[in-house]
Every structure is written in structure tokens, then in C-alpha cells.
């Protein structure tokens, strides 16, 4: 049985900016396509492509964030594959609606007999708790395997084998714990990423989703620094990490 102790986040798509030849911007400084799309959209509102203040993209976007002109951040979308998170963590993640798209592993179709389980950060590091928890998830997986076998027999009359398996798995999954690993493709525009990150990086957020949010933020800060530069990650007193935003969501 595989036990996972941290999420894996992989960027699978980023924005591509196609600058219209008839509205060129006087760019200053280094920037990614996602950042340029936001700057282009902001400048279009005031037709300031000639960059009268001589701002770099980083300076321009910081000012936009400060002013709360959040809609220009809706044009750049980043798609991240998230693995190594529990079903309970993904359940919290998918509560974020505006600007989000999700595609999550189906427990009705996929055989979970060899699924991995995600150990809650709160349990990690305590050998007794870890052993107890491991035993519990192992027992649940065994129950799942037994259930699938029995249900396959019960549904023997279903001719289509794929359909029969689905019928067995969709019922047997009810005994799988919240800790079962899921894989989920998440796409969100920058405004939506920022809203989720602000809420899930906070110390009030559950530890696992907070850990996931830290990983996503670090990836997005590498990818498009100016769009996420105002977020700060800090160590908490109990030894985990949390984050705060410089410019509150609007």
C-alpha cells in the first residue's frame, strides 16, 4: 500500500499572448505571457499602450493589484495537475467555483484496489498515530476489494463487463476513506487562483489543503511572479507553513 506525505503539483498549461500588431504596448522589463495579457487588458481600458509612466510589467501589475482592478486577471488561465491529495482535500478545493474547471479521477471507473492514501499532516511524525492510521486505511482497502469481488458476483447477470465493474466499484467505493488519493486537473484564471490561495493559505484553513495551496503558490510565483508577488509564505508556530496576501481579494 502506498502512503503519500506531500502533494505533487505540475503545470500542464500556461497562457499564450498574441500581441495585436495594431495595438503594440511599450513593454518594460521581463515578463511572461500571462503577465503581459493582464497588462495588455489593463492598458486597453485607458488606451495607455504608450506606457506614459514608463512602468515595468511588474510595477504596472502591482499597481493594478493595489487598486483592486481584479477583472484584468481573469484573462490568464493556468492549468495545474494536482496529485497526492486526499478525497477530502479535493472536496474542499472544488468548492471554489467562479473561474474554475475540474476533472477528477472517477472512483466509479477506476479500480481503487491499489489506490494510494494521503497521510494527514497532523498525524505525520507520531509513530503510534501513523501506525494506527495505516492499519485503518489498510482495513478499508481490504473491505473495498472484498466488496468489489462480491458485487461482481451479484451483478453476474450484467453482460457488459465494463458496466458490471462500474456498478461494483461505484458501490464498493463507499467504504474507502477520505484519505484515498485523488488526481485532479484544475484550471483557473489568475483572479480565481488568488481567491482560492488567499482563503486556503490562511491559518484557519485545514492543514492538507493549506500545504497544497503553498505548493500551488510556489509554482505560480515561479511561473508568473508579478501576478502573485504580493503573497508571502511564513512558518507557523506549530511548525507548518501558512501564507498571507498583500492585496486582499476584490
Ligand X SMILES: Cc1cc2nc3c(=O)[nH]c(=O)nc-3n(C[C@H](O)[C@H](O)[C@H](O)COP(=O)(O)OP(=O)(O)OC[C@H]3O[C@@H](n4cnc5c(N)ncnc54)[C@H](O)[C@@H]3O)c2cc1C
Q: How far is the CB of 230 from ligand X (least distance, A)?
A: 18
Tell which positions 77-116 bind ligand X, by CB under 6 A.
95-98
CB of 198 to ligand X, least distance (A): 9
- 229 by DSSP, 3-state: which? coil
Beta strands in the chain (DSSP E): 3-4, 8-13, 77-86, 100-104, 117-118, 181-189, 231-235, 241-245
Q: Is position 165 an interface residue for ligand X (rule: CB under 6 A)? A: no
Among 93, 148, 205, 217, binds ligand X (CB under 6 A): 205
Residue 217 near ligand X by CB under 6 A? no
Cβ(63)–Cβ(226) under 8 Å? no
Considering the rule CB under 6 A, would residue 226 count as an interface residue with ligand X? no
* Number of residues this chain uses to bind ligand X (CB under 6 A): 10
Tell me whether residue 200 is one of the annotated catalytic residues: yes
Per DSSP, the three-state class of 114 is coil
Marked catalytic residue, from 165, 173, 194, 200? 200
Single out the segment in contact with ligand X by CB under 6 A; choices: 19-27, 53-61, 111-119, 196-204.
Answer: 196-204
Nearer to ligand X among residue 141 and residue 186 (C-beta): 186
CB nearer to ligand X: pick between 61 and 242: 242
The Cα 90–Cα 106 span in angstroms is 13
For 4-68, give the DSSP string. Answer: E-S-EEEEEE-------TTS-----S---HHHHHHHHHHHHHHT-TT-TT---HHHHHHHHHHHT
Residue ranges binding ligand X (CB under 6 A): 95-98, 192, 195, 199-200, 204-205
Residues with active-site annotation: 200
Amino acid at each position: 500500500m502506498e502512503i503519500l506525505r506531500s502533494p505533487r503539483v505540475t503545470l500542464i498549461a500556461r497562457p499564450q499572448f498574441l500581441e495585436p500588431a495594431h495595438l503594440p504596448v511599450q513593454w518594460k522589463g521581463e515578463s511572461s505571457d500571462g503577465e503581459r495579457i493582464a497588462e495588455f487588458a489593463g492598458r486597453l481600458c485607458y488606451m495607455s499602450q504608450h506606457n506614459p509612466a514608463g512602468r515595468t510589467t511588474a510595477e504596472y501589475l502591482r499597481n493594478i493589484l493595489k487598486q483592486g482592478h481584479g477583472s484584468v486577471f481573469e484573462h490568464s488561465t493556468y492549468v495545474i495537475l494536482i496529485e497526492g491529495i486526499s478525497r477530502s482535500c479535493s472536496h474542499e478545493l472544488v468548492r471554489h467555483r467562479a473561474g474554475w474547471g475540474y476533472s477528477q479521477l472517477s472512483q466509479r471507473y477506476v479500480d481503487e484496489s491499489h489506490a494510494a492514501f494521503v497521510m494527514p499532516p497532523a498525524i505525520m511524525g507520531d509513530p503510534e498515530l501513523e501506525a494506527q492510521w495505516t492499519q485503518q486505511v489498510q482495513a478499508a482497502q481490504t473491505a473495498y476489494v472484498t466488496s468489489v469481488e462480491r458485487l461482481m458476483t451479484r451483478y453476474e447477470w450484467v453482460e457488459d463487463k465494463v458496466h458490471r465493474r462500474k456498478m461494483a466499484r461505484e458501490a464498493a467505493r463507499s467504504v474507502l476513506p477520505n484519505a484515498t488519493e485523488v488526481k485532479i486537473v484544475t484550471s483557473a484564471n489568475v483572479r480565481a487562483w488568488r481567491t482560492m490561495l488567499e482563503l486556503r493559505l490562511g491559518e484557519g484553513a485545514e492543514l492538507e489543503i493549506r500545504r497544497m495551496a503553498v505548493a500551488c503558490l510556489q509554482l505560480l510565483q515561479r511561473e508568473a511572479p508579478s501576478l502573485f508577488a504580493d503573497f508571502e509564505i511564513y512558518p507557523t508556530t506549530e511548525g507548518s507553513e501558512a501564507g498571507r496576501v498583500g492585496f486582499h481579494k476584490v
